[in-house]
Amino acid sequence: MNETELRKHRCCFTGHRPEKLKIPEDRLVLLLEEEIRKAITGGFTTYITGMAKGTDLIAGEIVLRLREQDDRLKLICALPHPGFGLHWGGGWTERFQKVLAAADLVICRAGASTIGELTALGKPAILVPSPFVAANHQYKNAKVLYDRGGVELVEEKGCTGEGLYRKALELLADGSRRAAMGRALKELAAPRAARDIYENLIGLMK
């Protein structure tokens, strides 16, 4: 399929933050779900959320709920930068983490905090390392995960929206491959990293 055909089967969510919403959240949920159901009827099965608090996350939550009755539906989380969503109040960080954990695929940069999240969750991803960082460290982060089979790596140079989406579709169509990627990431996880660093420092001080 060309880009025009691809666009007929995907839907991207973005919208107001909660403080700018003019209607109660429960009303927004009803309206969004009505439109998402129309989109599904119209053949849209792949959904992309920008993961911002408010409309983005609420729409992602709806797709995940509807996916329980329709396994054709897939949700991609597109994270704008490392550490995004980790310091929100009002329960939004918890909602962010639940959507991220349940998503089918993540597209993001390759900063240290992002790598930590992906490995802890065992969440398959397409990493696009930022080239505008010291010593090209995001590429080095991503390469470790790629070499272990946990992610796909796409360098920003030459990266296009169509190419990135085609790679995402390949992964979404292959559940066994995504499962294997998740297992590879879990093997790289360091959930005790903070405690291990602390204990090592205490040991050095003795």
pLDDT at 8 over 90: no
Q: How many CB atoms lie within 10 A of CB 95?
A: 18
Q: What is the pLDDT of residues 118-153, one digit of tens each?
A: 999 999 999 999 999 999 999 999 999 999 999 999
One-letter amino acid at 8 equals K
By CB neighbour count within 10 A (0-12 exposed, 13-18 middle, 19+ buried), where does 88 fall?
middle
In the block, tokens 């992906």 appear at: 118
Q: What is the pLDDT of residues 99-119, one digit of tens each?
A: 999 999 999 999 999 999 999
Residue 183, token pair as written in the block: 């297992």
pLDDT at 2 over 70: no
Please, what are the domains in the chain? 3-205 (3.40.50)
Instruction: Indicate the helix (H) or strand (E) that contains 120.
Output: helix 112-121
Q: What is the pLDDT of residues 15-68, one digit of tens each?
A: 989 888 889 999 999 999 999 999 999 999 999 999 999 999 999 999 999 999
